[in-house]
Structure formats: C-alpha cells, structure tokens
Amino acid sequence: MFTALGTKNSEQTSNILNEHYNQLSQSEKLMIHRYLNSKKDTMVLDIDTGSYSASDKSSQLVRRIQNTYVNEAHKPSDIGVYVGGPTSEGIDTNRVISQGLIPVIVMMLFIGYIILLFTFKSVFLPLKAIIMNLLSIGASYGILVYVFALGHGASFFHIDANGYIQNFVPVLLVALLFGLSTDLMKYCF
C-alpha cells in the first residue's frame, strides 16, 4: 500500500488503519471499503477532472500521472500502480488503432488489387480501383472531421461538435467504404 500517512512501508500503514478502524463511523468505514479492499493490499483512487473522458484536459492528466507522478513517487518496489478508466482506455485504444490502421489499409488494398487483377486480367483497372478507394476514404475522413470534429455545418445536422471523433469510427469507416467500393467497382468495369 502506498500512502500519504508518512509511513515508510505498507506494514506500518496497515497497522495504522487497523488500530484506528474501530473508531470510525459506519459511513467512514463504507467509504474506506469503497477504495480499499478487505485485505488492505489494494486501493482505488478516483480522480474527477470535471471534463469528459476524451478531452485534452483528461488525456494530459492521465499522461502526467503515468509519466511523471508514478515514476517520481517514492513507493516500495513491491507496489504496483496502474492507471485505468475511460481516458486511459481511450489513450491505449487510440495508440493501437494508429499503429495498426495504415498496415491494415495497405493489406486490404493489396488483397483487393490481387483479387481484381485475377478477375479482370488487367493491371490498370485494379490500380484505378485502389486510387478511387483512397480518394473516397480520404474524402470521407475529411468530411467527417470537418463536420463532426471541427463543427462546420454541424448546426445543419443539429449536432454539437466536441473536437474529436470516436476512436472506432475510422476503423468502421475503412471497412465499410472498402467493402462497398470494391463491390461496386466490379460492376463498373
């Protein structure tokens, strides 16, 4: 247990909590059990930023906690500190998506090229299909960001722009656009 009680190790902290536990009111005991398990070896700390979880303020706080506070804390070596919650989950998901999105798009375009190459027995028609796929995906991403993230024309759709796009939307959009454009492209030739 890592504590602000001024003790040097988790055993001292546990002794302080055990000695004074009976002096607490029932509501104080319930509050302690909300954040501290019965063995008193795991603690949960809630932090409310006063902002939504995908905001820059929340993301900067989580990064500061992960990169600064956890590393600079003088905690015993047997203590693990884990940062969780919707903001941390969103940061991790965004990292995984950004690392994998380009290789997935390249692989989808390559496989689509090979399939269309054997279907039409032409080198240039599949290449044209890939270029059209990239243009449609790029245009869709541009409009998506322009309207839903930046808020231009958002009043026409009666929505409020919040400055970001939900992290699953680009992946879903690639899959839908690639599937539709590849399917429609074979009918165009």
pLDDT digits (tens, 9 = 90+) for 103-146: 988 898 898 889 888 888 889 888 888 888 888 888 999 999 99
Q: Distance of alpha carbon 18 from its chain centroid, rounded? A: 39
Lowest mean pLDDT among 50-59, 102-111, 148-157: 50-59
What global pTM score does this model have? 0.64
Q: What is the DSSP letter of 83?
A: -
181: Cα within 13 Å, side-chain hemisphere: 22
What are the residues facing 43 on neighbouring strands?
36
Residue 145 exposed, middle or buried by CB count within 10 Å (0-12, 13-18, 19+) = middle
